[in-house]
Structure 1
Amino acid sequence: MTAGLLESHATRSRDGDDERSLGRAATRVLLRNWTGGATVPSRSLYPHQWSWDSAFIAIGLRHVSPRRAQRELETLLGAQWGDGRIPHIAFNPAVPLDAYFPSPDFWRSSEAGRGAGAPHSTETSGIVQPPVHALAAWLVHLADPAESRRRGFLPRVFPRLAAWHRYLTGRRDLGGHGLAAVVHPWEPGLDNSPSWDAPLRRVEPAPDSSFRRADLAHSPAADRPTDLDYGRYVRLAATYRDHAYDDGRTPHAFAVEDPSFNALRIASEYALARIADAVGADPAGHRECARVTTRALVERLWEPAAGIFVCRDLRSGLTCPDRTVSGLVPLIVPDLPREVADALLATARGEHFALGKVHLVPSYDLLGPEFDGSRYWRGPSWFNMAWLLHGGLRAHGEYGEAERLRETSLTAAHATDFAEYVDPYSGEGRGIRGFSWTAALALDLLYADRDAHGAFGLRNDEGEG
């Protein structure tokens, strides 16, 4: 099967030997990291199934095997909780507990999360990650609509995706202003972003003796969050667990409205509208939710003087002044006001992010006081952010710039053996090699027909983007 997938996939290359070689290499990464029902981000540091990783992976897998891409999402949704949340990790029971921390015995989901409907058959974490899933499901469907219909893919995933979005619009609107809040730095996916420094100062770190980091066995300490960061991550997760993962009862020391998390929610809400229409449900509520959330995003998080979206700390009520890549991601929002989109494009091209002048898109302000080109989300460029910005550029008609970002992303992915992230100045690969979403999104940039369905498969029909 492996040889057949590689051979048939390679013949679809449009641009010669280099892209054919890249497509084959990326496909090998995904085949190597496939576990039978899902794809791990890497066999070393990340040996379980991660939530938004699987969404990005499915987007790439659809070019190799649409059925396997469907299975990726179905496996993840099988770990969904009764309250609708999709946990950020679904644990593989065959993996030793000491292979990753925090491990299942830390989260104790089936016990501590019983009241929130945690599954009995699968141990998971209790926090979430960005809601890319409906967007991924729609793109996977578009890859082979006949196969999708034959398997009943959309009718099966739609109720689960709708429940996930109800959880975010309900229980997670902690500020009451129409935006979902994140309650742990791991939830928006930008783990150690400088945006979290101020709210994290309120958090008393867990003692060093209470946890053992597994990540430093696979990646240099200079590339990873600090021990102080980890102590605070552990404290927040333990507090949430000890309050039964109840969003209403937990005294969240960290509660933040994040622009990229909510922008992805908006894009996925539009995708849910498309899915609803395809399965014979009413799409109007999803479109209206996307529009209302877009207005809240602009009203709450747009910072005109800085030309970027920022985070808002719900405990202090203050916005965070840091410019991070999270603030650029709303370029993917279909109904973003034109003046906001223009200012955001100017910021991306300007000295703070230098789009087109550095490798991909840095995760943090190049001129910021906390910039570090090696350390995780404090400066390095990530491939999933470049993929999102590529779609955002296309959504706003910036096709030439989008194509340049596509080419540099593909070059960097291949040159670094599909690294987790890269130094924005040198282009040197950092973190784990053979990283699944890097390989998957390289495949999507190679093979997706973006003229067929518009940016992210959401054509501008009936106002949904």
Structure 2
Amino acid sequence: MDVTRERAAAVLADNWLGSSTVPSRGLYPHQWSWDSAFIAFGVRHLAPERARLELLTLFSAQWRDGRVPHILFNPDTPPEAYFPGPSFWHAGRTSGLVQPPVHARAVLAVHEAEPDRTFLATLYPKLRAWHEYLHTHRGRGGRGLAAIVHPWESGMDNSPAWDAPLSAVTPSAGFVRRDLQHGAAADRPSDEDYGRYVRLAADYRDSGYQDGAGFVVEDPGFNALLADGELALAEIAEELRLPAAAAGHREAAARVAKALQDTLWDSASGWFFARDVRTGTRTREYTCAGLLPLLLPDLAVAPALLATATGPRFRLGRVHGVPSHDLTAPEFDPGRYWRGPSWFNVGWLVRHGLLRHGEHALAEHLRADLVETALRTDFAEYCDPLTGTGHGTRSFSWTAALTLDLLAQPAAVA
């Protein structure tokens, strides 16, 4: 085992709770939804049974309406360790929000590492229910896209894409931010932004988790992952010998992909922008979420999207990772949460997108950079795209897990 693999494996061992993995022991001491999916991609190379348990544990908390909550709280963690904790949500052992649907792709990858049809057969109906929830309850814009009802649901919590939709939200006050005990204030969302997040979450909770009021936004990253998840579900259905279901998932993926291009693509800008469903306007912020539709294999606008990504706004291939926000924008901040830094999960996803569109050299450059940066920064949560300096917490689980996955992949060749 080389030193990078050994150190990444040690991070994941230290963050393992016995049935799931925390993103970090201090800052995020519970199980997070899309974190666990990314973690499973890496852990499958070390212990496939642990990767299966990671995902089975998460889906054990699935709601009856099909949603997969974004946090499954660890009962052994003191309530004051994280805010908002379980008492805030009035939802038992979970939160009431969701995160991007990367789970079907993770389930398929874990199965491919060590085939287990029982595992697939157990999770397939749960994954179907999860996607059905998104297609129906979250189809608020009427165009075939799923909407998020809180910035936290995008996984890109503090993105500038949410500034305009959040501007009318009155911030909450009187709560204690636990995140600042584990991270520099300059790297984290401002108190005003965090207050808006808390207000939105409280309003959603107080509505009985009724979807469709307040913040309602169609996010290109979330929907690209939903379409890719449907393609993964098609492969799972085929493995389970369900050809009609597989065809249905491929049709669902095509519908979402078409809606993405019809609704969120701006040809003049060469980018996918988020859309505020309430006003019908796009946010016009160039964020890394706009690059995730590259995951879709038949994306007609891929050349134009790549031209923007490799241009001055993102300089893909000439900076560290994938910047989370436009490098030329006045609000670009190389250290503040999702307002400029590069995140390892986004780089990992974009690499897959590059490979699907034949960009082998750029994909290999990104793979090598991600692995080198992860080791040098002690598996930091994210990094400065210009200098490669690590930011956020260290020994971050998805950084370690995705490094393991990248190490296991063959070098991309033209």
Q: TM-score range by the shorter chain?
A: over 0.9
Match of 2:144 in 1: 178
Match of 2:372 in 1: 411
Match of 2:6 in 1: 24
Match of 1:126 in 2: 96
| 1:349 and 2:332 matched | no
| 1:229 and 2:211 matched | no
The one of 264, 270, 274 aligned to 1:311? 274
Q: Which amino acid in the other structure matches residue 109 of structure 2?
A: L
Alignment of 1:360-379 (within 5 A): 360-379=321-340
- Secondary structure, counterpart of 2:153 in structure 1: coil
Match of 1:41 in 2: 23
Q: Which amino acid in the other structure matches residue 211 of structure 2?
A: D
* Distance in 2, Cα, partners of 1:356 & 1:263: 22
The one of 30, 36, 44 aligned to 1:62? 44
Alignment of 1:168-317 (within 5 A): 168-207=134-173, 209=174, 211-247=175-211, 252-281=213-242, 282-317=245-280
Q: Deviations over 1:98-144 (max 9, x none)?
A: 1000000001113xxxxxxxxxxxx1000000000000000111111
The one of 400, 409, 414 aligned to 1:439? 400
* Distance in 1, Cα, partners of 2:410 & 2:130: 28
Displacement after TM superposition at 1:260 (Å): 0.4
* Distance in 2, Cα, partners of 1:154 & 1:357: 40
CA contact 1:23–1:443 (8 Å) conserved in 2 = yes
Q: Which amino acid in the other structure matches residue 359 of structure 1?
A: H
* Distance in 2, Cα, partners of 1:306 & 1:27: 42
CA contact 2:135–2:144 (8 Å) conserved in 1 = yes
* Distance in 2, Cα, partners of 1:329 & 1:283: 23
Displacement after TM superposition at 1:450 (Å): 8.1
Match of 2:120 in 1: 154
CA separation of 1:449 and 1:134: change in aligned 2, threshold 3 A = farther
The one of 327, 334, 339 aligned to 2:290? 327
- Secondary structure, counterpart of 1:109 in structure 2: coil
* Distance in 1, Cα, partners of 2:23 & 2:261: 33
Match of 2:33 in 1: 51
CA separation of 1:241 and 1:450: change in aligned 2, threshold 3 A = farther
Q: Deviations over 1:75-96 (max 9, x none)?
A: 0000100000000000001111
Match of 1:138 in 2: 108
Match of 1:114 in 2: none
* Distance in 2, Cα, partners of 1:180 & 1:275: 22
Q: Which amino acid in the other structure matches residue 219 of structure 1?
A: G
Q: Which amino acid in the other structure matches residue 156 of structure 1?
A: T
CA contact 1:202–1:253 (8 Å) conserved in 2 = no
* Distance in 1, Cα, partners of 2:94 & 2:297: 33
- Matched residue count: 411
Displacement after TM superposition at 1:335 (Å): 1.8
* Distance in 2, Cα, partners of 1:285 & 1:170: 15
Match of 1:95 in 2: 77
Q: Deviations over 1:141-192 (max 9, x none)?
A: 11111xx13xx10000000000000000000001111000000000011111
Q: Which amino acid in the other structure matches residue 112 of structure 2?
A: L
CA contact 1:51–1:76 (8 Å) conserved in 2 = yes
- Secondary structure, counterpart of 1:159 in structure 2: helix
Displacement after TM superposition at 1:448 (Å): 3.1
CA separation of 1:53 and 1:450: change in aligned 2, threshold 3 A = farther
Q: Deviations over 1:347-376 (max 9, x none)?
A: 111000001111111000000121000101
Q: TM-score, normalised by structure 1?
A: 0.87
Match of 1:460 in 2: none
* Distance in 2, Cα, partners of 1:410 & 1:241: 40
Q: Which amino acid in the other structure matches residue 124 of structure 1?
A: T
CA contact 2:309–2:316 (8 Å) conserved in 1 = yes
* Distance in 2, Cα, partners of 1:449 & 1:84: 36
Q: Deviations over 1:398-449 (max 9, x none)?
A: 1111000000000000000000000111110000000000000000100035
Displacement after TM superposition at 1:287 (Å): 0.4
CA contact 2:364–2:411 (8 Å) conserved in 1 = no
CA separation of 1:375 and 1:97: change in aligned 2, threshold 3 A = same
- Secondary structure, counterpart of 1:186 in structure 2: helix
| 1:109 and 2:91 matched | yes
Q: Deviations over 1:286-323 (max 9, x none)?
A: 00000011000000000111111000001111001110
* Distance in 2, Cα, partners of 1:394 & 1:311: 24
- Secondary structure, counterpart of 1:187 in structure 2: helix
* Distance in 2, Cα, partners of 1:318 & 1:175: 12
Displacement after TM superposition at 1:280 (Å): 2.3
* Distance in 1, Cα, partners of 2:410 & 2:64: 36
* Distance in 2, Cα, partners of 1:243 & 1:355: 42
CA contact 1:267–1:334 (8 Å) conserved in 2 = no
Match of 1:81 in 2: 63
- Secondary structure, counterpart of 2:154 in structure 1: coil
* Distance in 2, Cα, partners of 1:276 & 1:59: 20
- Secondary structure, counterpart of 1:197 in structure 2: helix
Displacement after TM superposition at 1:50 (Å): 0.1
